[in-house]
Structure 1
Amino acid sequence: MDMQADFDRLLFFEHARRTAEVTYTKNPLDTENLTRWGGALLELSTFQNVQESKSMIKEAISKLDEALSIDPKKHDALWCMGNAQTSYGFLTPDKDEAKGYFDSAYTFFKQAVDEDPENELYRKSFEVATKAPELHAEVHKQSFSQQAVAPGAGGGPSTSSSVKGAKAQKSSDLKYDIFGWVILAVGIVVWVGFAKSNVPPPSQR
C-alpha cells in the first residue's frame, strides 16, 4: 500500500515538474510556477540516492532563487527555500558545511514568518530550524557508530553492536520523521498550487 502511495507521489511530482518546465518556456517570470517547480524537485529528491538527491535539491534552490529574485517577499518561495537548505544540510556530512545551510534555512524561515506571521506551518518550521544542527550531529554520529560496529568492521561484541544499531535506527527514524514532515508539507504546498493552476472551476448547477 505504501509502495503504491510512493509511486503515485513520484508520478504526481514528476508530472508537476514537467508541467512547470513547459509553463516556464511560456512565462519565465511566473513566480508561482517557479515555486511549484522548486517544490516538485524537492519532493522528487527524496526518491534519489544521496548524490542525485543533492543535485536535485541544488536545482530546486536555483528555481526558488529565480522566484525570489522576481519577488523577494514571496513567502511560500522563502519557506520552500528554507526547506531546500535544511534538506541539503542533512545530506552534508561535514558539520561546519552543514551549519552554513542550516543558518541559511533559519534566515529564510524567519523571512517567511515575517511575511506571513499567521502561518502555523512557517512558525513550526522556524522553531524546528534551531534544532537542525543538533539533530545533524546526532544522526551523523550514530550512522558513523553503526558503520564502526557493522559485521566485519572489527567492532566490539554483538550485544554492543545491536544496542548501537538500535540507537542509530532511533536517531535515523527521528531524522526521517522531521525530514519527512518537511517534505510532506512542501508537497502539500506544491499540490495545492498545482491544483489551483490546472483544475477547471467547478461547473455551476
Structure 2
Amino acid sequence: MEMSNDFDRLLFFEHTRRTAEAIYAKNPHDAENLTKWGGVLLELSQFQNGPESKQMVQDAIDKLEKALVVDPRKHDALWCLGNAYTSSAFLIPELEEAKVYFDKAAQYFEQAVELEPTNELYQKSLEVTSKAPGLHVEIHKHGLGEQVMAGGPSSSSTSTKQQSTKKSKSSDLKYDIFGWIILAVGIVAWVGFAKSNMPPPPPPR
C-alpha cells in the first residue's frame, strides 16, 4: 500500500512538473507557476538518489528565486525557499557548512511570516528551523546522512523495514525531519494544482 501511495505521489508531482514547464514555456514571468514548479521539484527530490536529489533541490531554488524576481513579496515562494535551503542543509554532512543554509532558510521563513503573520504553517516552519542544526547532528550521528544521500525517505522505506530496531528509530527521526519540510510543500503544490484550470479527476466508482 505504501509503495502504491509513493508511486501515486510520484506520478502526481511529475505531472505537475510537466504542466509547470509547459506554462513556463508560454509565460516565463508567471510567479505563481514558478513557485509551484519550485515546490514540486522539492517534492520530487525526495525520490532521487543523493547527487540527483541535491541537483533537483538546487533547481527548485533557482525557480523560486526567479519567482521572487517577478514578485518579491510572494510569501509562499519565500516559504518554499526556506524549505529548499533546509533540505539542502540536511544533505550536507558538515554542520558548519549546513548552518549557512539553515541561516538562509530562517531568513526566508522570517520574511514569509512578516508578509503573512497569521499563517500558522509559516510560523511553525520558523519555529522548527531553530531546532534544525540539532536535528542535523542527530541525523549524521545515527548515520542517516549516508541514507539520505543514498535515497530519500520514500525510496529507502522498504529496506529500512528489514533493518534493526535502532535503524528503524533512526528512520523515524528522518521521517520527522522531512515530514514538516516535504509534506508541507506538498500541500502547497496540491493547492496550487487544484487552483489551476485542469478539471478535477472523476470520483472513484
CA deviations on 1:138-191 (whole Å, 9 max, x unpaired) are: 2112218x99xxxxxxxxxxxxxxxxx755543442232121232111011011
Look up the SS of the partner of 2:29 in the other structure.
coil
Distance in 1 between residues matched to 2:132 and 2:168, nearest whole Å: 18
CA contact (8 A) 1:139 1:168 kept: no
Question: Residue in 2 aligned with 1:92?
Answer: 92
Shift of 1:198: 2.5
Question: Residue in 1 aligned with 2:158?
Answer: none
CA deviations on 1:80-126 (whole Å, 9 max, x unpaired) are: 00000000100111111111110000000011110001100000000
Letter in 2 for 1:178: I
Shift of 1:69: 1.1
Letter in 1 for 2:196: S
Task: Please list every run of 5 or more consecutive structure 1 residues that lacks an aligned counterpart in the other structure.
Answer: 148-164
Give yes or no for the alignment of 1:26 onto 2:26. Answer: yes
**TM-align CA RMSD:** 1.9
CA deviations on 1:41-64 (whole Å, 9 max, x unpaired) are: 000000011111000000000000
Question: Residue in 1 aligned with 2:44?
Answer: 44
Look up the SS of the partner of 2:142 in the other structure.
helix
Task: Please list every run of 5 or more consecutive structure 2 residues that lacks an aligned counterpart in the other structure.
Answer: 148-163, 201-205
CA contact (8 A) 1:38 1:59 kept: yes
Give yes or no for the alignment of 1:183 onto 2:187. Answer: no
% identical aligned pairs: 67
Structure 1 or 2, whichever has the larger Rg, is 1
Letter in 1 for 2:32: E
> Which region of structure 1 is more displaced relative to structure 2, 167-176 or 89-98?
167-176
State the number of aligned residues.
183
Shift of 1:2: 1.1
Distance in 1 between residues matched to 2:128 and 2:174, nearest whole Å: 12
CA contact (8 A) 1:143 1:168 kept: no
Letter in 2 for 1:136: H
Distance in 2 between residues matched to 1:12 and 1:181, nearest whole Å: 19
* Structure 1 stretches of 4+ moved >4 Å: 165-169
TM normalised by structure 1 equals 0.84
> Which region of structure 1 is more displaced relative to structure 2, 178-187 or 58-67?
178-187
Higher RCO by CA contacts (8 Å cutoff, separation 6 or greater): 2
Distance in 2 between residues matched to 1:69 and 1:186, nearest whole Å: 20
Shift of 1:72: 1.2
Question: Residue in 2 aligned with 1:122?
Answer: 122
CA contact (8 A) 2:135 2:177 kept: no
